[in-house]
Amino acid sequence: MTGVALTAAQAGLVSCEACQLLARPANPEEPGYCRRCGEKLEFRRHASIQITWALIIAAAVCYIPANVLPVLNTTQLGTTEADTILGGVAFLYTSGSWPLALIVLIASVMIPLGKLVALAYLLITVQKGSVKNNHDRTRLYRMVEFIGRWSMLDVFVDTFTVALVQLQPLMSVAPGTGVLFFAAVVVLTMLAAESFDPRLIWDSATPTPVPNG
Amino acid sequence: MIACADCDLLQHVPPLSPGAKARCPRCGCVVAKRPSGPKDLPLALAFAAAVTFILANAVPLMDLSVVGRTASTTIVGGAYQMWLEDERITGALVTFCAVIAPGGYIAFMLTILLATRRSPVPHWAGELLRWANHFQVWSMLEVMMLGILVALIKIAELATVSAGIGMYAVGALLVLFPAIIVTFDPREIWNRVVWAGDDATPRAPEGAVVTEPPR
């Protein structure tokens, strides 16, 4: 493209998020649905900042019980032992498989926390109308989107541990309440990443009256 | 002409040679790509994935034995055990991410790829493609595989564990899934999809621009 860079919103066009078709809505207040694929058309994701804030606050609240409450209760010869996520990491470390301990630590503790911090940083800079580090912030967003699913790791570990170790009365493993909170953290942060609109990062540099941003 | 998904910059995408990608000049996001390889390759891969997926869900993932007692589990069996232990939401979530989302993705892709072998492409194929993309986000087979490996190593301290055929099937799916995504060309299909309210080939309404002339 030659000349001045123009965004679709500046040109009055909506880009379909599913099939990338550009449409010029008759009524910018209500762009309607994409004629090619049926996706709801929006200049910017609906109430992106508010919804993302709500989801990451909810996820941050769930993050505490997810780490404090036990995720697994192991019953062996009549005695029951409760394990938190960090307890599981410590178990893997002491049993000699430190690479796995590191993977679980990164996936279960650091990725969720990192996602919360990263999304909060993106929201704050967008709300302040920052025009700096746009490339880095876009890259950060893409990383959050890409890496988020991996924090589901511990939910799968617990599920298959519970499913396999059912050798009553010898030994059995039951899930703890922490699993639910942990799964909630993962789902809420994934939804938060989906509701954040990366185009807002660039909008401060190209001011536009966005009808339904 | 399209708008970048990450920064909304309007840009022309030049005709791409097979295997080429177009990046947004402002934010560097990949705005378009054209896969190389035969046109029917994604269909073949989707068929292979469907067969492998059925196998992965039908046979046990792994067996465990300790002092003469044995236990085994499938993917759904694992989720069902969580359900029985009163972790119903977690069980449902595991079922969704490990069975429904990948299964739905494969089923939708097979249908889409079969439907798009003829032109014009029916409108519902476009709707399905939109849903397939949503399923793809929540399909977590690779995370599940790593989770199973960690669980195996944890349990190996206590009992003898051996991987079953289901495990190898999941391993094959981990290769087939990215292969479908890489060889599949959604732009080529979008260009041929019949629009809602139309009965013939795609037609640009006032103000909207079709990205490319249909090939």
Residue range A45-203 forms a domain whose CATH class is mainly alpha
Is position B209 within any domain?
no
All residues of chain A having their beta carbon less than 8 Å from the beta carbon of residue B2 are: 15, 20, 22
Is position B215 within any domain?
no
* Residue A44 CB contacts under 8 Å (≥ 6 apart), including other chains: A9, A197, A199, A200, A203, A210, A212, A213
pTM, 2 dp: 0.86
Q: What is the ipTM of this complex?
A: 0.86
How much of chain B is in helix, strand and coil states, percent to nearest 5? 55, 15, 35
Distance CA A40, CA A49 (A): 19
Question: What pLDDT score does A1 carry?
Answer: 41
Q: Could you tell me if B9 and B100 lie in one domain?
A: no
Are A134 and B155 a contacting pair at CB < 8 A?
no
Distance CA B81, CA B89 (A): 12
Average pLDDT over residues B35-64: 91
Tell me the residue range of the domain where B126 lies: 35-192
A134 touches chain B (CB under 8 A): yes
pLDDT band at A141 (very low <50, low <70, confident <90, very high): very high
Q: How many CB atoms lie within 10 A of CB A148?
A: 23
- Beta partners for residue B33, in sequence order: B21
Is position B87 within any domain?
yes
A11 touches chain B (CB under 8 A): yes
Are A37 and B193 a contacting pair at CB < 8 A?
yes
Summarised one tens digit per residue, pLDDT across range A143-188 is 999 898 899 999 999 999 898 888 777 778 889 999 999 999 999 9
Residue type, A41: L
Q: Could you tell me if B29 and B100 lie in one domain?
A: no
Domain ranges for chain A: 1-43, 45-203
Question: Taking a contact as any Cβ pair under 8 Å apart, which residues of chain A between 23 and 62 contact chain B?
Answer: 23-24, 33, 35-39
Distance CA A54, CA A116 (A): 12
All residues of chain B having their beta carbon less than 8 Å from the beta carbon of residue A190 are: 137
Are A97 and B153 a contacting pair at CB < 8 A?
yes
Q: Could you tell me if B22 and B63 lie in one domain?
A: no
Is position B199 within any domain?
no
All residues of chain A having their beta carbon less than 8 Å from the beta carbon of residue B3 are: 7-8, 13, 15, 20, 22
User: Rounded to 5 degrees, what are φ and ψ at A173?
Assistant: -125, 130
